[in-house]
């Protein structure tokens, strides 16, 4: 048998020597407890998954039982929910010392630990997490990206740690900026880990891996960027059972494999036979947005209202829906008797795949997005300015869910049209369409169109003014003027919806 090896240089008494770690020996362990028996505290852990899809729950449960493992730096797209996923570790004080993620969600325990200084949180755009880990996997120390340029990521204004009295004591590092082809980019460094915790559909005894649909997400790229990669597999098969062309991660990256002992959890169950269209405000906005999608478009849908849009796309149109968690060809919600927990959208809702759909890893997904392959991106927002600035990831002192993939989705507005779907006013009746955003920005001058429950506006970035093009049925022009802080002009031919 050919056994591959990796050599690591060490220094002892002033002399250099190499310690060789064998990577091609036996990789199969009876259970998760054996697979993690020698892992340590104060280390960096990559944890695969998106929402609760593709999460290495068996391994996380085993680590949770190990009281000696503490002060972890955990890297994951999101922190789980309730006591599921990574939340199982985060909810236990002292287990995780630092969390690098793109989205906090509604984990109140985590938010409380963060606000009281018991855990540090480094919010990072979702695509940047994927690319930082991907760079580490390829031996690249750093790279420039447009994602985060002109935001608090660039300026280093995001708080990473508070003291016990909720006073900020540490901030993210300010990023170096360079211009390429007239566009601003920030420098990001690679992100390598001591351990990667992965869930796969199939693993053979050499460590070759296959993932199932949207469970691909961060699992593939994380598997390649750790000193020790530990995989829980739903099916462990013999060498040769997986055709070479179907392998997602070659075995050279994998060190240990154990059987999974848990089913995949479903975070948000949505079915076509139980989720009736309500005709309410959200569906009204989504239905109007569907008219913007032309035949042959590649379209990304963000969280919230955008996820409703596929229900209103005309059957005669061929629109390819891309979901940031690694699907191209998202369909409608499934029938209740045909739900696959490994097929979810960016809102973590169960969906279906259309004929010809494809699934892939998060690094591939955000490569499509940043490079401008997506024609239209539909997102929600807290605020939009009349010059096209967007704020949709935090309200200082009140809400800090995180940017998720939004900063990536607006990073190339020259190639990807950004359309915002939102209610016209917030819950206090205040306009969300402003002269200038007063919340931290997700992107500068990136929005092209706004669709609300009252009206539709085009944004003229040259003049810095809005153009009113559509008014909702039953709404008057005076009502729109009263509820819109931003300045706008009125199109000669006003449409309705």
Residue scoring higher pLDDT (5 or 117): 117
Phi-psi region of 173 (alpha: psi -120 to 50; beta: other; left: phi over 0): beta
**Lookup: tokens for 1:** 């048998």
What are the extents of the domains in the chain? 32-259, 281-496
Q: Where are the beta strands (DSSP E) in 351-464?
A: 353-359, 376-379, 383-385, 390-391, 417-421, 433-434, 449-451, 455-460
Q: Residue range 114-120: average pLDDT?
A: 94
User: In 3-state terms, what secondary structure has residue 2?
Assistant: coil
What pLDDT digit, counting tens, does each position of 181-205 carry? Answer: 999 999 999 999 999 999 999 999 9
Please name the helix (run of DSSP H) or strand (run of DSSP E) that holds residue 11, with its range, or none: strand 5-12
Sign of the CA dihedral running 20, 26, 30, 32: positive
**Same fold? 32-259, 281-496:** yes
pLDDT digits (tens, 9 = 90+) for 336-390: 999 999 999 999 999 999 999 999 999 999 999 999 999 999 999 999 999 999 9
Q: Which residues contact 47 (CB under 8 A, 6 or more apart)?
A: 55, 56, 60, 74, 75, 76, 86, 197, 222
Distance set, CA 257 to CA 32, 133, 232, 253 (Å): 8, 21, 6, 12
Give the largest Cα separation in the chain, rounded. 82
Per-residue pLDDT averaged across 136-155, rounded? Answer: 97
Burial of 104 (0-12, 13-18, 19+ CB in 10 A): buried
| Distance separating alpha carbons of residues 191 and 222, to the nearest angstrom | 10
| 3-state SS assignment for residue 449 | strand
Fold classified for 281-496: Glutaconate Coenzyme A-transferase (3.40.1080)
Q: Which fold has domain 32-259?
A: Glutaconate Coenzyme A-transferase (3.40.1080)
Q: Could you count the other beta carbons within 10 Å of the beta carbon of residue 189?
A: 14
- Judged by DSSP in three states, 247 sits in coil
Q: Which of 35, 6, 10 is nearest to 21 (CA)?
A: 6
Annotated catalytic, 324?
Answer: yes
Confidence bin at 2 (pLDDT 50/70/90)? very low
Active-site residue, from 324, 349, 363, 364: 324
């Amino acid at each position: 048998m050919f056994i591959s090896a990796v050599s690591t240089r060490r220094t002892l008494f002033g002399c250099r020597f190499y310690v060789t770690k064998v990577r091609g020996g036996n990789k199969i362990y009876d259970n998760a407890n054996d697979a993690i028996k020698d892992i340590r505290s104060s280390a960096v852990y990559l944890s695969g998954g998106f929402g609760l899809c593709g999460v290495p729950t068996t391994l996380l449960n085993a680590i949770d039982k190990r009281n000696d493992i503490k002060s972890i730096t955990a890297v994951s797209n999101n922190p789980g929910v309730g006591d599921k996923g990574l939340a199982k570790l985060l909810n236990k004080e002292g287990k995780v010392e630092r969390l690098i993620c793109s989205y906090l969600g509604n984990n109140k325990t985590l938010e409380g630990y963060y606000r009281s200084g018991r855990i540090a949180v480094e919010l990072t755009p979702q695509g940047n997490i994927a690319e930082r880990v991907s760079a580490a996997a390829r031996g690249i120390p750093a790279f420039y990206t447009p994602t985060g340029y002109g935001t608090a990521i660039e300026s280093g204004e995001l708080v990473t740690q508070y003291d016990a009295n909720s006073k900020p004591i540490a901030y993210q590092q300010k990023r170096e900026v360079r211009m390429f082809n007239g566009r601003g980019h920030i420098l990001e460094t690679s992100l390598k880990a001591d351990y990667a915790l992965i869930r796969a559909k199939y693993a053979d005894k050499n460590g070759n891996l296959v993932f199932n649909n949207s469970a691909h997400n961060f699992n593939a790229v994380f598997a390649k960027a750790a000193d020790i990669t530990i995989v829980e597999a739903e099916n462990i098969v013999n060498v040769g059972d997986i055709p070479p062309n179907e392998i997602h991660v070659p075995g050279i990256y994998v060190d240990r494999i154990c059987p999974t002992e848990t089913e995949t959890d479903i975070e948000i169950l949505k079915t076509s036979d139980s989720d009736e269209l309500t005709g309410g405000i959200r569906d009204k906005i989504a239905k109007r947005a569907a008219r913007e999608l032309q035949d042959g478009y590649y379209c990304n849908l963000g969280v919230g209202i955008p996820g409703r849009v596929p229900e209103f796309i005309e059957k005669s149109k061929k629109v390819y829906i891309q979901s940031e968690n690694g699907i191209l060809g998202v369909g409608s919600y499934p029938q209740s008797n045909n739900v696959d927990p490994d097929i979810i959208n960016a809102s973590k809702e169960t969906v279906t795949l259309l004929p010809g759909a494809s699934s892939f890893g998060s690094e591939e997904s955000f490569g499509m997005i940043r490079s401008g392959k997506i024609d239209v991106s539909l997102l929600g927002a807290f605020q939009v300015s009349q010059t096209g600035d967007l704020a949709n990831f935090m309200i200082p002192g009140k809400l800090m869910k995180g940017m998720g993939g939004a900063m990536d989705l607006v990073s190339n507005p020259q190639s990807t049209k950004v359309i915002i779907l939102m209610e016209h006013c917030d819950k206090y009746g205040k306009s969300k369409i402003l002269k200038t955003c007063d919340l931290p920005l997700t992107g500068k001058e990136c929005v092209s169109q706004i669709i609300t429950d009252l009206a539709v506006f085009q944004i003229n970035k040259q003049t810095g003014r809005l153009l009113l093009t559509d008014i909702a049925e039953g709404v008057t022009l005076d009502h729109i003027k009263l509820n819109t802080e931003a300045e706008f002009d009125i199109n000669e031919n006003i449409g309705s919806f």
